[in-house]
């Protein structure tokens, strides 16, 4: 009876060990963006930008209204290019690497004339056109914080003055807004805080601190 109990215990320990090893392998394989919620394409690109610490630029018109499949999983065990391809292909988009930055562009089928003249020239022209578009429609990013505590403020409303373009800060107080003017005034408003306007000038990053609204 003692031998039987010892044998049974050994089998259980072995099964638990095998299960543990299998579970760890599954955990390692599952290091991915696997949110069950749908998210905007711009949010998915921001996740990649943060994870890989690179600049990813795009025109608002390319990502506006596009939602990433909620079942899409992106592993951080592969390089950024593979993840970008997986995210962008369903929308007919691709990317071009420019120095240390990635520019999101439309994916176009090569025309017959392009094949005759050479695809390299046509590809460079498309990239140049997209860069010109980004210059005309530049993206301003930044973080909004409490002026006293320096804590990031989520849900702050941000509007480009004189336009209908409006966004809100995320859970970490960050925002990203596309503007079509070289000189734009940004208007920040949040319940309990005094509204604030600031000129972005030619800057692409504008960090703001809001003061609490003390009503007399």
Written in H, E and C, the secondary structure of 132-176 is HHHHHCEEEEEEEEECCCCCECCCCEEEECCCCCEEECCCCCEEE
122 and 85 share one domain: yes
Choose among 51, 92, 45: nearest CA to 72: 45
149 and 166 share one domain: yes
67 and 109 share one domain: yes
Q: Return the CA Rg of the chain.
A: 24
Beta bridge partners of 39: 68
Convert the pLDDT of each residue in 82-108 to its tens digit: 989 999 999 999 998 877 788 888 887
Domain-ending residue, one of 109, 135, 161 = 135
Specify the pLDDT at position 196. Answer: 94
172 and 85 share one domain: no
Specify the pLDDT at position 201. Answer: 81
Q: In terms of pTM, does the model score above 0.85? A: no
Specify the pLDDT at position 20. Answer: 52
Does a structural domain hold residue 174?
yes
The domain in which residue 174 lies consists of 137-210
83 and 149 share one domain: no
Q: Over pLDDT 70: what percentage of the chain? A: 67
Convert the pLDDT of each residue in 13-44 to its tens digit: 665 555 554 444 444 344 444 444 567 888 88
For residues 124 and 213, what is the distance between their CA atoms, to the nearest angstrom?
Answer: 51
Does a structural domain hold residue 20?
no
Q: What is the CATH number of the domain that holds 152?
A: 2.60.40.1120
Domain-ending residue, one of 87, 105, 135 = 135
Does a structural domain hold residue 23?
no
Convert the pLDDT of each residue in 53-68 to its tens digit: 888 888 888 888 888 8
Convert the pLDDT of each residue in 140-195 to its tens digit: 899 999 999 999 999 999 988 888 778 889 889 999 888 876 678 999 999 999 99
């Amino acid at each position: 009876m003692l031998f039987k109990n010892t044998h049974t215990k050994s089998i259980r320990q072995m099964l638990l060990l095998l299960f543990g090893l299998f579970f760890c392998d599954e955990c390692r394989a599952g290091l991915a963006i696997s949110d069950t919620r749908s998210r905007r394409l711009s949010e998915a690109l921001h996740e990649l930008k943060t994870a890989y610490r690179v600049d990813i630029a795009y025109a608002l018109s390319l990502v506006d209204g596009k939602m990433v499949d909620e079942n899409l999983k992106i592993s951080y065990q592969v390089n950024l290019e593979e993840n970008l391809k997986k995210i962008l292909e369903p929308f007919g988009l691709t990317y071009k690497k420019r120095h240390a930055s990635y520019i999101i562009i439309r994916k176009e089928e090569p025309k017959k004339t392009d094949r005759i003249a050479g695809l390299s020239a046509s590809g460079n022209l498309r990239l140049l056109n997209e860069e010109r578009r980004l210059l005309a429609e530049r993206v301003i990013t930044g973080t909004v914080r409490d002026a006293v505590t320096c804590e990031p403020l989520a849900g702050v409303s941000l509007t480009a003055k004189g336009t209908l373009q409006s966004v809100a800060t995320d859970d970490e107080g960050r925002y990203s807004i596309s503007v079509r003017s070289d000189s734009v005034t940004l208007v920040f408003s949040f319940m309990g805080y005094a509204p604030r306007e600031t000129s972005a000038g030619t800057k692409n990053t504008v960090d703001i601190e809001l003061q609490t609204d003390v009503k007399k």
